[in-house]
Amino acid sequence: MSCYLSLILAALLLTATLACNAVTKATAGVTIPDPAVSAPLATAKGEQTAVFAGGCFWGVEAVFEHVKGVTEVTSGYSGGAAKTANYEAVSDGDTGHAEAVRIIYDPSQVSYEQLLKIFFSVAHDPTELNRQGPDTGSQYRSAIFYTDENQERIARAYIAQLDQAKVFKRSIVTQVVALDSYYKAEAYHQDYLANHPNEPYIMINDQPKVANLRKQFPDLYK
């Protein structure tokens, strides 16, 4: 089911479900620890890239756009071929793509580990397999597309840490795979929450994520 079909359903369910979605499933009654494997912030300004997939890219993009040290966030597609990297094809769920966000950040202001903690705690529910909330299909899977061996090491260690500590009631299903390619999504998907803050889908599924970011990470919120 595409984000747009979910948007229509959300309009019908807004009154009944808005209160229930005040927090994401990932954070309801859960305290997310800091990654045990971590490194200090860089001593000089720079530019690094992280790519995450966690359901419809509208909400994940909106969360990371509000993180200090993040300079650019774009919605796009990872995991499939260039010829099918478009919303219509990806929405069928059989192109191999995941709706993903590419995050450009300054490692002297925010670390990869901090981005991972936000990803697991407020951006999505890492225990849902091939779905997030009302959106179903492999294009909505949870995935970390690492850009180097260090990102892979940190991501795998953090998932093992969270599972071992039984932070969530279910096991984490997040894939950790090398970033082969990333294709920027169509222009109308970019900054979707900022441009459509009052759409029912956004109000139900995504506005609470941004609110939780502000509540849980006040020092990183911008």
56 an active-site residue? yes
* pLDDT tens readout for residues 102-139: 999 999 999 999 999 999 999 999 999 999 999 999 99
Catalytic residue among 10, 56, 60, 90: 56
Closest CA to 101 of 133, 55, 67: 55
CA distance linking residue 13 with residue 200, whole number of Å: 8
Contacts of 215 (CB under 8 A, 6+ apart): none
pLDDT higher than threshold 50 for residue 163: yes
The confidence score (pLDDT) of residue 39 equals 82
What predicted TM-score, i.e. pTM, was given to this entire model?
0.90
Give the Cβ contact number of residue 42 at 10 Å: 14
The confidence score (pLDDT) of residue 8 equals 52
* pLDDT tens readout for residues 131-153: 999 999 999 999 999 999 999 99
CATH number of 3-32+39-216: 3.30.1060.10
